[in-house]
Every structure is written in C-alpha cells, then in structure tokens.
Amino acid sequence: MDKTNGIIYLIGAGPGDPGLITVKAVECIKAADVVVYDYLASPTLLSYAKPGAEIIYVGKKGGDHTLTQDKISELLAQKGEQGHVVARLKGGDPFIFGRGGEEAEVLIERNISFEVVPGVTSAVAAPAYAGIPLTHRDYTSSVSLITGHEDPLKETSSIHWDCLAKSGSTLVFFMGVKNLPNIVNQLLENGKSSQTPVALVRWGTTTRQQTVSGTLSNIVEKVKEAKLKSPAIIVVGEVVSLRENMKWFENRPLFGKKIVVTRARAQASGLVDKLRHLGAHCIEIPTIKVVPPRDNTPLEDAVSSLEKYEWIIFTSVNGVKHFFNTLFAKGLDVRVLGRHKFACIGPVTRDELGKFGIVSDVLPKTYRAESVVEAFKDAEINGKKILLPRAMEARTILPEELRNMGAHVHEVTAYETQQVSTAKEELMALLRNGEIDMVTFTSSSTVKNFMALIPEQERTSLLSDVLHACIGPITEDTAVSLGLAPEIVADSYTIDGLVDVIVAYYTGKEN
C-alpha cells in the first residue's frame, strides 16, 4: 500500500545543550517544511530551519499543555497527509519517555511515512554534566530508567519497587520532582538504605543547570530548601558520590552567572558562544541593530570613483561589510582595489578585511589620538586622499588627527545603528526580579540605548547590584557620562579581551 508523499522525522533534540544535537537531526530540520517543537527542545535549533518553514510550538510542562498529546499526533498526521516534510523535535530521545512511540502508532495507522532520529537522552547527559557516571566498575554495572510519574489512570503500578530497591543498579527517574517524597518512601520501604546517595539535576547540560545532592534520608528536605522544580532528573545510587570530584561542568569560571549581551543580535553570537562555553547563562537583550544608511548614494558615489583615493580606512567590521556589499552590488570586485593602501582600527576589523584577501597596511589599536598618530607616523599620508566609510555619527578623533597630519579625508556613511526596544519588557522584568548579574557593553551606542530602556527614576535601584563590563575606555567613558561606574574594562579592546577580564574578575585573577 502506497504511503503519502509527506514524511515525519521524529527527532531527539537532545537534553538542552544545542551542541548535543546529531548531524542527522540537523539535516532533517534543514529539509523540513514544518518544524514542530516542544518545551524541552532548545529554541536555538530552530535557526537550522529553512526560510519560510512553518514553526509550531506544542510545549507541555507541569500540566500546562499547549496541545494535548492526541492533538499533537493529529497535527503531525495532518501535515504528513498534506505532503509536508515535518521535523518533530522532542526533548532528549523520542523513544525514551518521549511518547514518540505513541506518535509513530498514529502515523502507522494513517499510512504516513516516518523516520526516528535518536537523540541524546537526558538520563545520560544530565548526570554526565553533573559529574555522575551512571556506571562505574567499582560501583555498578547496570542502569534502570524509570518514569517519575506513572499514568494516574493506571489501576496498579508497573514499577517493581522491591526489585529496584534491592538491585545494585543506578536508578534514573524522569520528571519525578513532584513525586520525590513517594519515590523516596517506596525505595526505603522496600529495603533501600537511607544512606544511599541521591542527586537531582535540573535543566541538565544548560547554563541554567542546578544540582542538589544528598541521601535518601535528607534529599526531600534539601530539594525543598533549594526550591528546585521540574524539569529534573533524579539519580539514585552509589555513583552519585563521585560527583564531588567529577563536577566538571559546574566548575566552569562563569557557571550560573546571568550575563546580558546588548550587542546587535546579528553580531552577538561570538560573545554569547564564548561566555556560554565558560558556563554563563547569556540573556540576549539587543539594544541596537545595524542597518544600511537611509541614503546610500554617498557611499555608492565613492565606490564608483575609487581611483580618486590613495587610502581606504575602516573603523569597524560593519564598515568593511557594508563597503564590500556596495562594491559587489555595483558589479565590481577586489581587483579595483589593487592600488590602494588600507588601515583598520583594531585587530577584529583587520581580520574582517582579511576575509576579502586584503592585508591592512596600518593598524591603530584604538581611536585614541596617540594611537592614531603612532600607527601612521611612518606612513606617507600628507596630501593623500583618504576614504573613510564608517557609521553615521561616528567619533571625530580619527579624521581630525589624519587631517592634522595633512591628509584629505572624505567621510561617508556606510551604515547606521538604530535603537532596539523590543526586549524592554523582558529586561525590566529581569532587573526587577534581581535576575541579572552583569551587563556587557561593546560600544558606546549599546550603552546609550541600554540606558534609554530603563526609566531614569529607576536606574539607581535597578542597577545598583548589577556589574557592568565595557569593551574599552571609550565605551567606559560613555557609561560614566550616563551615571554608571563600570567595574570591568577590557585592556584589549576585542571580544576576547572583554571575556578575559570578565573571567579574571570572577576568578580573582589578574588578567
């Protein structure tokens, strides 16, 4: 019997860390016309979806269901019958307490093609990130995976508590936080030692990970004191005692620190990735976005008459990108730049220029006057014509110093930065709840626009307990002028330099 043209991929989206997704899963997401994802699937994975793909959230948590399981299965079947390629993202692995089997049964009944793409289950990943090996030759050679909450409509339990209590297996319970007292009582009543080590791992593998450990005799009270809630994995067994020396993930220098990244979303990934790798929980609150100038004619005219200039100077990555976008849009390529000399402010801008096969001849490290003078002291720029494509309302130090050295500088707007306020409500809620440890600023515009989001009368109260980190002294000066007192300022005015001083601050080490 022929099946419909659609196909449903039942995909294990992993335990939370988007880096634990499989290659096959990514391929399926990229091919999908429709992506259906749940509460425990990392939203980061949605970035793999192709433009125009339909994105549907069907999350379920703590009894609050966007769609019931029956309706989710029906949705998948309908999309398949319509001929769509569907990526169904399920937290962990779809066939380990993921109800993937139930969805597959509906698809089989409706004669719809499907494939199962296994994922990294939280039963393995969460304990591993908490420093708990589920098996160890000195402790146990078996593992049992158990639901923490059985179907309440079942007349009798299918869990053999007496066997679990008497076995030497590591016991892993899924989604059992609310039922923890009952789990503990069942194990104790069936002969498990009250001194058996236990750990609960919430949001395992993510920067929000929280681990509470103890023994069967005290774990209920400890979890209550920690106010730990779902989603969490419960691990019972002697291997939990290894955590004290093996908790590698939670030992990262920025683990658990809630850090706001104010950079434009399109450029924030580098900073976010570095901070997350060090354990920080990054909150993206973009305060600016970079856009082409409202009138691109001056830059287009300059590109059309490049023969007039001897030098081209770039002050930012955005300047490089927008210059070359305009160059290519006019049907030109880098061959027209063969006679020019180039300068870049800072190593990151230099590296961006290098992507186009061009080496910077001069490299001032900063906008500061002394840095510009030192960098150009051996360059022949007296009487030379210089093209300076950069941001609207950029600092005047660079063109002023170049003119003081006898150069003829033509400034053109290559891009603009606009204020972004879409995340204002999220920011205010986080600040009022005391859920931000640090705010990072990578330019003066990020500082100005960040402060514009906060009512002036609330700035002192909301920001008094928040640290502020600036990428360099110019950004720091802007912050100070707006009433902030940055505790952290990078000596090397790059993303790497900023991350280094943040780590040094939290670890108490000299940079």
Q: How far apart are CA 488 and CA 498, in angstroms?
A: 8
- Within 10 Å of residue 465's Cβ, how many Cβ atoms? 10
The answer, yes or no, to whether the previous bond of 347 is cis (omega within 30 of 0) is no
Residues across the chain: 511
Tokens representing residue 370 in the block: 């002394």
How far CA 78 is from CA of 4, 100, 110, 155, in Å, comes to: 11, 17, 9, 33
Q: How far apart are CA 322 and CA 389, in angstroms?
A: 9
Q: Nearest CA to 298 among 230, 383, 387? A: 387
Task: Identify the active-site residue in 38, 79, 90, 448.
Answer: 38
Task: Identify the active-site residue in 3, 24, 33, 60.
Answer: 60
CA atoms within 13 A on the CB side of 60: 15
Q: Nearest CA to 233 among 196, 202, 187? A: 202
Task: Identify the active-site residue in 175, 192, 274, 321.
Answer: 175
Q: Is 175 a catalytic residue?
A: yes
Q: Is 60 a catalytic residue?
A: yes
Sign (positive or negative) of CA dihedral 327, 330, 333, 337: negative
DSSP for 296-325, written as a single string: -HHHHHHHHTGGG-SEEEE-SHHHHHHHHH
CA atoms within 13 A on the CB side of 418: 10
Tokens representing residue 103 in the block: 């969805």
Q: How far apart are CA 74 and CA 368, in angstroms?
A: 63
The answer to whether the beta carbons of residues 358 and 339 sit under 8 Å apart is no
Known catalytic residues?
Answer: 38, 60, 175
